[in-house]
Amino acid sequence: MADDTTPDREYDVAVVGAGTTGLVLAYLLAGQGIRVAIIDPNRLVCQHPRASHVDDECMRILDLVGYSEEEKNFIKQSGFDIFTPGGDLLMKWEIDPDRTDQGWHSDYMFFQPDFEATMRGRLMMTESADLFIGWKVAGVEEVGEEVLVDIRHRKFETEDRLRAKYVVGCDGAWSMLRKVTMTGLRDFEGTKRSLIVDVHHFTPPAGLSPTGGFIQSGETPITYVPLVPPVARFQFMLENEDDLDRFEDPVVIYDLLNRWLEPDSYRIMRTDVYEWNAHLVEGWRAGRIMIAGDAAHLMPPMLGQGMCSGFRDAANLAWKLAAVVSGGSGEELLDTYETERWPHVAGFIAESARQANLIAALGRAKQPPPRQDGDVVDREHAPIGPGFVDAGGRLPGVLAPQPTGPDGGGLDVEVGYRFAVVGTAETLRAVAPATRERWQHIGAAVIEGGGPAVTKWLERHGVDAALVRPDHYVYSATSGTPDLERATAAMAAALAGENGA
Same domain, residue pair 59 and 146: yes
Q: Is residue 2 part of a domain?
A: no
In this predicted structure, what is the pLDDT of residue 175?
96
Among the candidates 276, 304, 325, a domain finishes at 276
Among 32-36, 39-43, 93-97, 469-473, which stretch is predicted with the lowest mean pLDDT? 93-97
Same domain, residue pair 18 and 153: yes
In this predicted structure, what is the pLDDT of residue 363?
65
Same domain, residue pair 262 and 286: no
pLDDT higher than 50, residue 1: no
- Cβ atoms of 289 and 142 within 8 Å: the answer is yes
pLDDT higher than 80, residue 305: yes
- pLDDT band at residue 329 using 50, 70 and 90 as cut-offs: very high
pLDDT higher than 70, residue 8: no
Among 169-183, 239-253, 313-327, 440-454, which stretch is predicted with the lowest mean pLDDT? 239-253
Same domain, residue pair 255 and 288: no
Among the candidates 276, 311, 340, a domain finishes at 276
Same domain, residue pair 353 and 458: no
Percent of the chain predicted with pLDDT > 70: 94
Same domain, residue pair 330 and 451: no
pLDDT higher than 80, residue 370: no
CATH number for the domain spanning 168: value is 3.50.50.60
Q: Is residue 356 part of a domain?
A: yes
CATH number for the domain spanning 260: value is 3.30.70
In this predicted structure, what is the pLDDT of residue 124?
96
Mean pLDDT of 481-494: 97
C-alpha to C-alpha distance for 312 and 294, rounded to whole angstroms? 12
Same domain, residue pair 141 and 242: no
Q: List the beta strands (DSSP E) in 260-409.
A: 266-276, 279-282, 285-286, 289-291, 297-298
Q: Is residue 376 part of a domain?
A: no
Q: Is residue 235 part of a domain?
A: yes
C-alpha to C-alpha distance for 68 and 170, rounded to whole angstroms? 22
Q: Is residue 97 part of a domain?
A: no
Same domain, residue pair 137 and 24: yes
Number of domains present in the structure of the chain: 3
pLDDT higher than 60, residue 2: no
From first CA to last CA, the distance across the chain in angstroms is 37
- pLDDT band at residue 500 using 50, 70 and 90 as cut-offs: very low
- pLDDT band at residue 371 using 50, 70 and 90 as cut-offs: very low
Mean pLDDT of 368-389: 66
Among the candidates 362, 392, 427, a domain finishes at 362
Mean pLDDT across the chain: 92
- Three-state SS string over 58-81 comes to HHHHHHHCCCHHHHHHCEECCEEE
In this predicted structure, what is the pLDDT of residue 374?
38
Q: Is residue 368 part of a domain?
A: no
Q: Which residues of 284-322 are buried (b: 16+ CB within 10 A; e: fewer)?
A: bbeebbbbbbbbbbbbbbbbbbbbbbbbbbbbbbbbbbb
- pLDDT band at residue 441 using 50, 70 and 90 as cut-offs: very high
Please give the distance of CA 140 from its chain centroid, rounded to a whole number: 26
pLDDT in tens, 205-226: 988 999 999 988 888 899 999 9
CATH number for the domain spanning 473: value is 3.40.30.120
Mean pLDDT of 297-314: 95
pLDDT higher than 50, residue 368: no
- pLDDT band at residue 406 using 50, 70 and 90 as cut-offs: confident
Q: Is residue 3 part of a domain?
A: no
pLDDT in tens, 234-290: 999 998 778 888 888 899 999 999 999 999 999 999 999 989 999 999 999 999 999
pLDDT higher than 60, residue 369: no
C-alpha to C-alpha distance for 16 and 323, rounded to whole angstroms? 20
pLDDT higher than 50, residue 384: yes
pLDDT higher than 90, residue 437: yes
Domain that residue 212 falls in: 192-276
In this predicted structure, what is the pLDDT of residue 219?
84
- pLDDT band at residue 92 using 50, 70 and 90 as cut-offs: confident
pLDDT higher than 50, residue 25: yes
Same domain, residue pair 57 and 132: yes
Q: Is residue 373 part of a domain?
A: no
Same domain, residue pair 316 and 441: no
Same domain, residue pair 140 and 23: yes
Mean pLDDT of 33-46: 96
> Residue 457, SS3?
helix
C-alpha to C-alpha distance for 293 and 307, rounded to whole angstroms? 7
Name the pTM for this structure.
Answer: 0.94
Same domain, residue pair 272 and 342: no
